[in-house]
Chains A and B, each alone.
Chain A
């Protein structure tokens, strides 16, 4: 009964720690040496990957940019079959990084790679 749900919304929000907090986005500086790629990646030595972590709230409000599919899946998990997994927190927007690398031919390559840093999270 959506009336009940709307009535119960404040509890839901309180339960989820009130305002939407994007503390789900975590910093993670990683070096290409740690990945074993430094023999051919000259620069940068490291970059901040950033990643999404945490559970998705019970009520995927509009500002989570969650697709309708995730909203329905969260209801299915709660009301129909708990074997259907709860939506996961994943990156929503990304940004590129530029890399300087050496190719096997000995050429030196400057390249901008898309989608290398997570800038915000959503639930999917």
Chain B
């Protein structure tokens, strides 16, 4: 009936680099901020994944995404009450600090739904970039034809490539409800746009490459 060993006395298990790398990403470990992904962002990434790899995870050479890492970043904070009559306005903030150094930014886009069908009429949306101290700047129109309704706008220049000091990005998501005003049903809020960071991971192994281990003569 041995009392459980106090944690402090457990031998320090040398964590294997792989487990170290995975533990850094594991949910439930300290710093796990947001619940598991769900809804539209997850569906978008699952579709992207199925286009890029087969059922066993083997990359389809014919469908290369042109990079080995793509990170979907969701808005981590947004303003208060977004609706005013037909208008919807939401300020969204995306936190970008803490990107692993080994991941070099190739391209950044924001993905959103330019139009959404509603029970009565539909919603037309646009994005504005909020630059500190300047009036919001309307982003260019989508750089590619919307795929499955999703439009992707290239915002790479705004992230001041190479300037790793870009900690966060603020966008204004503006929509207007077109068509007959619906009954008294609560207005349907559009899904939040999300960022896609196309990165080149220069250390594509699982475990962060430890320096050449200095092994003593056995």
Contacts and interface: CB of A to CB of B under 8 A. Distances in A.
Interface stretch (A8-16, A69-77, A79-87, A96-104): A96-104
B69 A109 contact: yes
Contact of A115 (B25, B33, B72, B205): B205
B56 A47 contact: yes
Contacts, number: 114
B157 interface: no
A105 B68 contact: no
Contact of B22 (A37, A43, A48, A107): A37
B166 interface: no
A101 B25 contact: yes
Q: Helix, strand, loop or mixed for chain A's interface?
A: strand
Contacts of A116: 57, 206
B73 interface: yes
A47 B74 CA distance: 28
A28 interface: no
Contact of B56 (A46, A102, A105): A46
B59 A98 contact: yes
A46 B72 CA distance: 23
A104 B25 contact: yes
A102 B57 contact: no
Nearest to A43: B49
Contacts of A105: 33-34, 73, 95, 98
Contacts of A98: 49, 52-53, 57-59
Contacts of A43: 46, 49, 53, 57
B62 to A, nearest CB: 14
Interface in B79-137: 95, 98
Contacts of A37: 22
Interface in B19-56: 22, 24-29, 31-37, 41-42, 45-46, 48-49, 52-53, 55-56
Interface of A: 37, 39-40, 42-44, 46-48, 95-117
